[in-house]
Structures are given as structure tokens and as C-alpha cells.
Structure 1
Amino acid sequence: MNVALLAHEQFPDRAKTAVGVLRYADYDVVAVLDRGTAGSRVADHVPDVQDAPVVASMDDVGADVDALVVGIAPIGGGFEESWRPDVRTALERGADVYAGLHYFLADDEEFAGLAAEHGCDLWDVRSPPEDIGVAEGTAGSVDATVVTTVGTDCSVGKMTATRELYEDAREQGMDAAFVATGQTGILIEGEGVPVDRVVSDFAAGAVEAMVLDAAEDHDYVFVEGQGSIVHPAYSGVTASIVHGSQPDHLVLCHEVGRESVHGYDQPIPPVESFPGRYEQFAGPVSDSDVVGGMLNTRSVDGDEAARDAVAEFADTIDAPADDPVRFGTESVLEAIR
């Protein structure tokens, strides 16, 4: 399926959904829409993913497009009106539109009308199913090994770490499943529950249900983490995922140089404090250990300096660590095995 990715003014650094789709999804990306970097190519910005031209608008996409994917989500998940012409053009060309926003396109009168007129689907990825119940505390009893990623902050690479662990595990013959809990993971996997959109009483139950389902058919279940236990806005989502999944192991994710909470004037506590924080927090529902760490070194120039940063991170958290994109996941995956 051919898709275009909307990432205006954000590509690549703040367009994690777009980059995740480029790296992992089974879509053929024919263009990225970004007014700020139009005229370049994806390969000029992000190595080792699908390449495609970067253009200024949907009008500049010459290839046939089956769907336009909104590849960015601002804090709060709102819809930027400057995107409206591109969404309108996509629908008028008969393309579906997928979006992981809290603003539902299906509730937008103009978009709903155009979709009906041109036979298009509007997939609001953050629209949760209705049949979710309260967690019963049963995920800890599954036979599978459950591994949940956690972070020092939001947007440090939890989805990427989870996906890399899952894909590497499968390549090595491990019977693994991926549990998607956010818009990027759901767009890649094609299924999942957006935990940050679920009523708080049912959020842990949503995660529990997905873990139980995955554990029926797989030996390892990798659960995509969200937010951080110290995040002033998103800690509730983190709590629901940790308590709902009742993991055997936790993998701590961090980004080199991240000292303050993204979007907030609040310092991140010392990194060395996080293994204890998460193990203590998970403790009442599961005897989880921080089995390893994943370090995002995208801002580090040169592999030697990046390896030094990973080694320092491993020493800091007293556990094996990797950069899953730059160097792979072997040391953490071995610890999980």
C-alpha cells in the first residue's frame, strides 16, 4: 500500500510516528510532507529507513496514494489547521487518512463529508475499543515472559526499543509478540489499544487483556511503554502499562543529553535512580527487575563516542545496555533470554 506521511515542520526530530512508519511499517512510503525540509529526501535526514522525496504539500505528490498518514502529534494531540488543505486534498484524491491524534477526524464535519463523498476511510488510531474492563491482576500468571519498556521521559525511544527487541527476538527464533499501546505502534502493527485515550479505570485492563491474548500463543511478550513515572502529565499512562502488564522484566530507555522533561521546565531525576524507582513502583503487582537499558544516541557524532555513552549508561543503571538502532539489542536480549 502506498502512503504519504504528513510531518510539517517536525521532520525528522519531532516526527516519531513518521520515522517509526518509515522504519518498521509494511507501507510503501512515496512522499513525506514537510514544508521545512521540502526539496530534500528522507535519506538526507534519517539513515537505514525507506527513502522518499520530501515535498511541501499533498499537491506535490505525483504518485498514487492509498492513504495519508499524519505522522506527528503535538502535545495534547490537537489538529493543526495548517494541515487541513493536505487532508482535504488526500480525501479528494480518494485516499484514506490515518491519524493518531486526540482530535478525531471522523468527528470533523468537512472530513467526514469528503470521506463519504469519495469512498474513503478515516482511521482515528487513538479511538479505543468499547469492550474494555477493569484489570483483574492476572497478567502476572501467564506462562510467557513479559517485558515492558519504561523511560526516564516521554519521546526517548520506548517504541523503537520495544520494536527492535521484538524483531531481533523473532529473527533469533524466539516466539515473540509485540503489544502496541500508542499510535505509532498501532499504525505499525495494525492493531493495539491507545492506552492514553482509555478511561483511567480501564487503562490497566486494556493492557492486561492484550498481554493475556498475546501470551496464549507466544513465549515472549514485548509491551510498548509510554511516558515516564516522573512525567507531570503522562505518568498515569505509565502506571497503567506497568501495572496492567505485570512484567517479568523492565527495560529502561533514555536519551543522551536529556536533562529536563520534554515540554516542561522540570529537571529529570538522576538516571541512576530510575531502576529503583520502577522496581519499587512495579513491586506491589509484580516482582519486576530492570534487566537492561536502551540508550538513544542519535545526537552523538561517531560510533566510538556513542559506544562510550552506552557503556556509561550501562554502568549508571548497573545493567547491560544497547542503542537498539545504532548497535542492535543483543546484550539486553541475552539478559532477557
Structure 2
Amino acid sequence: MNAQPSRVAVLAHDLFPGRAKTATGVIRYADYDVAAVLDRANPGTRVSDHISIPDDRDAPVVESMADALELGDVDALVVGIAPIGGGFDESWRDDVEYALREGIDVIAGLHYFLGEDEDFSSLAEEHGATIHDVRKPHPDLTVAEGRASEVDADVVLTVGTDCSVGKMTVSLELTRAAQERGVDAAFIPTGQTGIMIAGWGNPIDRVVSDFTAGAVEEMILEKGDDHDVLFVEGQGSIIHPAYSAVTCGILHGSMPDAMVLCHVAGRDAIHGYEDTAIPSPETYVDLYEDLAAPVHPGEVVAGAVNTSAIDADEEARATLDEFGSSIGGPAADPIRFDADEVLDALLGDRGR
């Protein structure tokens, strides 16, 4: 993405908020204003009816792109869903075409490139709109040189027990919290949602396998001498039947000094692969540290747990304490509570 829009509509039909993590991430963290969320299952509600957000991040939920435009001007339509496999759902076509006919840009993070769809590309050209396929890598990527450890910054990587456990959210929350302490921290985006939020980045899960570590290293080398700490957005899980290769590429390409293990409370199997059980947190610590060690030693020093499925704060805190004890470090839910203990473990005396 070369330019950030200022006011957007976010398409999240039928899956908002639970399975529309791109929509949720954009609403919470992107700098632009969200005019409306498109969700035909919940028109007439508001975003705040579904997720916890600050008042200035709230927006109406409407049925279509036409309804969104009745609320005012929109610069871009963001496809806020990234399903397994990254395909395009034909039920979204009418809203995308409506936006393009109105000369509105479309931003998508799918493996299906909207810019290569003849109908979409023709409409975009005819009406002066631009299609941004943020999962399309730039053409000059190459293999890693094993140089990420040379940068001045400390590198912190979020790793996970599964997909969709909050690695991007934790990375962004830690970046923001560190900055509030006066630490010069930066976020390194590796997935479509992070790229939409930050306005730059390499989509690691779309890169040729030989170049995955190199694509991460490129970003570390670009930012690593300009900041004190880099928080790298992890992807997938080291045991994931489909995505473990992406996880390993990010681990070796970023050469992290420290890792934060992310989990969702109550999840005991890989989402979409329920025959694959999620092992103990201790097992993950060993797996990630052992795999990192031959390239660059890095420790899992803290954890982050999404406790949204737990009603009582007392029970949520007990869950965090148990997870922290199992990994030998503090654990936090930065959305529900704060990230202070995790930051203390990661930053030491920085920013105090």
C-alpha cells in the first residue's frame, strides 16, 4: 500500500466479529476513520454492540455498500475477512462492484487478487478507482542472509499456539504500550491486516517459500537501526498442519531476542483441524526455543492470553497466572487488562 485512505467502509458479512479478524484489527488500530461495517447479518447495530472499543472507534453496521454511502463519503472499501485459503466469496461481489462504480478504492488481503479479476479491473479502470491487493509481494524479494541479528534494536516476536490467537493484536498493543513508556518501538507487519494498519510490510504467507525468511529479514534490516525495539507480528503456529512453514520462516528470518507465546483460553485443538490437539504451553516453549537456537538463540519470556470467553475477571486473572507459571514468565491479556508485566519482562530497564 502506497497511501492510506482517510475514511473507509469495512466488509465483514456474516462473520463479524469472531471470524473477521481483519475487520476487527482495522477498526481497533488503523489510523483512518471507519464510516461503517458491512454485515448483512447484523444491520442496525453498532460495532460497540459486538466488540469492546473506545467510543471514537465506534461505527454503524449496515447491510450494503449502498447503505454505507448514505452515511457520507467513503475513500475505500476494505475487505475485512481473510478466510482459510484466502478465497473470494461471490456473495461479496455486489458490494465490491458498487464501490468501484462509485470510484471508490478497494483494499483486500486475499490470496485471490481482486486486481486480476477482469470484471473488477475493468470497473476500476472505467471509474478511476484503485484496487490494492496487499497480499501481493513486491518482485525483488530474495533469500535471507542471516543478518537480522546485526541490527541495533531488540527484536521481539509474537508466536502462537494456533492461528487467530492474537499475535497481531499483542504486537500492536505492546508497541503502543512501549511507546507510552518513552521507548522508541516499532511494529513489523507480516500479514494482510497488519499491512493495512501500518501501510507497509511484506505478506509473508504469500511469499515463495525460499524467500519467506528473507522477506522478514528485509523489514528487520530496514527498521532495526532506527528504533530501540521491534515487535514482529507472528503468523500461524509451529504445529499447524497447514501454516507451520510460515511460522518457521518468520522465526528464522527475524532472529528474535525474545518471544511472547500467544493463546486463546479454552482452545484445545487447532481451529479447522480439530484432530490436531494443542499441546501444553511448556511444549510450545521448548519447540520454539529449540527451533530458534541453531539460527539465533531466543527465549519465550512472556505470554499473552485472549480471555474474552471467560466472564469473571477473577477467573481470567487465574487463567493468566496459570499460563504464566507454565511458561516460566508473566502472562497478560492486554485488551482486558494491561501489558505492564509482559513489558517489564521484555524491556527490562528501558523506558522506566
Smaller-chain TM-score bracket:
over 0.9
In the TM superposition, residue 316 of structure 1 has moved relative to its aligned partner by 1.6
Structure 1 residue 302: Cα displacement: 2.5
1:31 aligns to what SS in structure 2?
strand
Task: Please give the per-residue CA displacement for 1:242-268, whole angstroms capped at 9, x wherever unaligned.
Answer: 000000001100000111101112211
Question: Which residue does 1:161 correspond to in 2?
Answer: 170
Distance 1:300 1:34 in 2: 26
Matched, 1:272 2:282: yes
Q: Secondary structure at the match of 1:112?
A: helix
Distance 1:285 1:326 in 2: 35
Check whether the contact 2:240–2:270 (CA below 8 A) recurs between aligned residues.
yes
Provide the rounded CA distance (Å) in 2 between the counterparts of 1:198 and 1:89.
Answer: 31
CA RMSD of superposed structures (Å): 0.8
Q: Following the alignment from structure 1 to structure 2, what is the Cα–Cα distance between the partners of residues 231 and 80?
A: 24
Structure 2 CA distance, aligned partners of 1:88 and 1:302? 44
Q: Which moved more, 1:128-137 or 1:305-314?
A: 305-314
Which of 302, 326, 335 aligns to 1:325? It is: 335
Aligned partner of 2:3 in structure 1 is: none
Q: CA deviation at 1:328?
A: 1.6
What SS is found at the alignment partner of 2:316? Answer: helix
Structure 2 match to 1:315: 325
> SS of 2:266's equivalent?
coil
**323-332 or 70-79, larger mean C-alpha shift:** 323-332
How many residues align structurally? 337
Alignment of 1:221 with 2:230, yes or no, is yes
Secondary structure of 1:115's aligned partner: helix
Matched, 1:260 2:260: no
| Letter matched to residue 282 of structure 1 | A
Instruction: Provide the TM-score with structure 1 as the length reference.
Output: 0.99
Instruction: Determine the C-alpha separation between the residues in 2 that align with 1:255 and 1:244.
Output: 25
Q: Does 1:17 align with 2:22?
A: yes
Q: Distance between the aligned counterparts of 1:48 and 1:297, measured in 2?
A: 16
Q: Which residue of 2 aligns with 1:123?
A: 132
Structure 1 residue 141, shift from structure 2 partner: 2.0
Query: In structure 2, how many angstroms separate the alpha carbons of the residues matched to 1:302 and 1:88?
Result: 44
- Structure 1 residue ranges (4+ consecutive) displaced by more than 3 angstroms after TM superposition: none
2:64 maps to 1:57: yes
2:158 is aligned to 149
Q: What is the CA-CA distance between 1:286 and the residue it aligns to? A: 1.0
Q: 1:311, 1:71 → 2: CA distance?
A: 33
**Of 10, 13, 16, which aligns to 1:8?**
13
What letter is aligned with 1:74? P
Q: Which residue number corresponds to residue 82 of structure 2?
A: 73
**Superposed displacement of residue 147, structure 1:** 0.4
Q: Which one-letter code corresponds to 1:262 in the other structure?
A: H
TM-score, normalised relative to structure 2: 0.94
Distance in 2, matches of 1:47 and 1:252, equals: 23
Partner of 1:99: 108
Corresponding position: 1:281 with 2:281: no
**Among 230, 234, 259, which residue is 1:250 paired with?**
259
Query: For structure 1, which segment, 95-104 or 315-324, has the greater mean C-alpha deviation from structure 2 after superposition?
Result: 315-324
Deviations 1:74-122 (A, max 9, x none): 1000000000000001111111000000000100001001111111110
Query: What secondary structure is seen at the aligned counterpart in 1 of 2:269?
Result: coil
Q: 2:36 aligns with which of 31, 35, 41?
A: 31
Cα distance in 2 for partners of 1:48, 1:199 equals 37
Distance of 2:228 and 2:52 partners within structure 1: 32
**Larger CA deviation: 75-84 vs 31-40:** 31-40
* Unmatched tracts of structure 2, length 5 or more: 1-5, 348-352
Q: Structure 1: how far apart are the matches of 2:330 and 2:313?
A: 18
More displaced 10-residue stretch of structure 1: 46-55 or 154-163: 46-55
Work out the CA distance in 2 between the residues paired with 1:336 and 1:269.
Answer: 25
Task: Say if 2:301 and 2:328, in contact at 8 Å, map to a contact too.
Answer: no
Match of residue 313 from structure 2: 303
C-alpha displacement of 1:133: 1.1
Aligned residue in 1 for 2:350: none
- 1: CA distance between counterparts of 2:139 and 2:173? 30
Amino acid at match of 2:317: R
Residue 48 of structure 2: which of 43, 48, 53 is its match?
Answer: 43
Q: % of aligned pairs identical? A: 61
- How much does 1:271 deviate? 2.2
What corresponds to 2:179 in structure 1?
170
Partner of 1:191: 200
Provide Cα deviations, 1:215-253, integer angstroms capped at 9, x if missing partner. 120111110000000000000000000000000001100
> CA separation in 2, counterparts of 1:48 and 1:254?
21
- Contact preservation (8 Å) 2:174, 2:231: yes
Alpha-carbon distance in structure 1 between the residues aligned to 2:67 and 2:277 = 42
> Which 5+ residue runs of structure 1 have no aligned equivalent?
none
* Equivalent AA in structure 1 for residue 65 of structure 2: M
Letter in 2 for 1:306: A
